[in-house]
Structure 1
Amino acid sequence: MLDFILISGDRAIFNPIFGKAIVAVRPGILKGTGIPTVNKNKICLVGDEKQVIVPGCSYTSPPNVTPGTGTLSIQSLAPNQKARKVKSKRTAVLLKGTTFTAKFQVLVPAQTPTIPPTPDPIPIYLGTGFFTTTNMQVKGT
């Protein structure tokens, strides 16, 4: 099925719910490495999503209501976000698709407001996200 090809400058939007953690999300920006361009921006290839890293996001995870911080990234793509036929440099291009699996890596654990405070024991939370694109012309499959 045809879908829009992602290009440099497109955004990865993270949903704020990561299991029991609530993350103050910010979008990640894609940087394409493909040779062809769309609207003077390089197209994105499978693997470019690994460069989307959003550091310094605060979070809470009840009962740990004193905020902690961590980093957002894309863990894996949905099958409909990888082109089956369109390639650049022998690598599949990225498509807008549906939702990807996101990862929130805790760097400073959220804590309970007790004395002494108890840190959040979970180091990684999984969630979801989706891509938005400014490319409304070129599609691939």
Structure 2
Amino acid sequence: MSRLILIEGDKAIFLPSFTPALVLPRPGELKGSGPATLNGKKLCVEGDEGKVSVANCSYVIPGYSIPGKGTLKIAALGDDQKAKKTKTGDKAVLLKGTTFTATFEVQNPAKQPPKGPGPPILDSTPTYTGKGMFKTTNKIFKGT
């Protein structure tokens, strides 16, 4: 089945649920590195998804009322997001597809207020896993 090809400037939309964490996501922007272009914008190829990074996103988890911060990244593409046949510069082009696997890397942990005197209790989980999808401005150019 053919799907829309991703181009430079397209967005990675992260869903807020990184169970049990709830992240306040912002979109990430794809940088295309394929030699082929569409309307002057480079096509996105395999590997470009690894360059998406959205820093300084807030998050909370149950029991930790003081929000923390971290970085959203694409961990793995879905099976329908990398072309099997369509290539440019010997690399598979990226396709809109359905959903990708995302990670949220904690830089500043969420905190639980202390029960008495002393420091707050920090969230000890370094990463959370969630999902996301691509939003493209390309409405016609498809790959398989």
Distance in 1 (CA, whole Å) between partners of 2:113 and 2:57 is 20
Q: CA RMSD in A?
A: 0.7
Task: Identify the range of structure 1 (111-120 vs 76-85) with the bigger mean alpha-carbon deviation.
Answer: 111-120
Gaps of 5+ in 2: none
Report the TM-score when normalising by structure 2: 0.96
**SS at the partner of 2:67?**
strand
**SS at the partner of 1:80?**
coil
> Among 128, 131, 134, which residue is 1:128 paired with?
131
Report the TM-score when normalising by structure 1: 0.98
Q: CA deviation at 1:86?
A: 0.4
Gaps of 5+ in 1: none
Distance in 2 (CA, whole Å) between partners of 1:84 and 1:90 is 12
Percent same amino acid at aligned positions? Answer: 52
Q: CA deviation at 1:68?
A: 0.6
Q: CA deviation at 1:40?
A: 1.3
Paired letter, 1:5? I
- Which 4+ runs in 1 deviate beyond 3 A? none
Q: CA deviation at 1:111?
A: 0.6
Q: Which residue of 2 aligns with 1:31?
A: 31
Matched, 1:112 2:112: yes
Paired letter, 2:59? Y
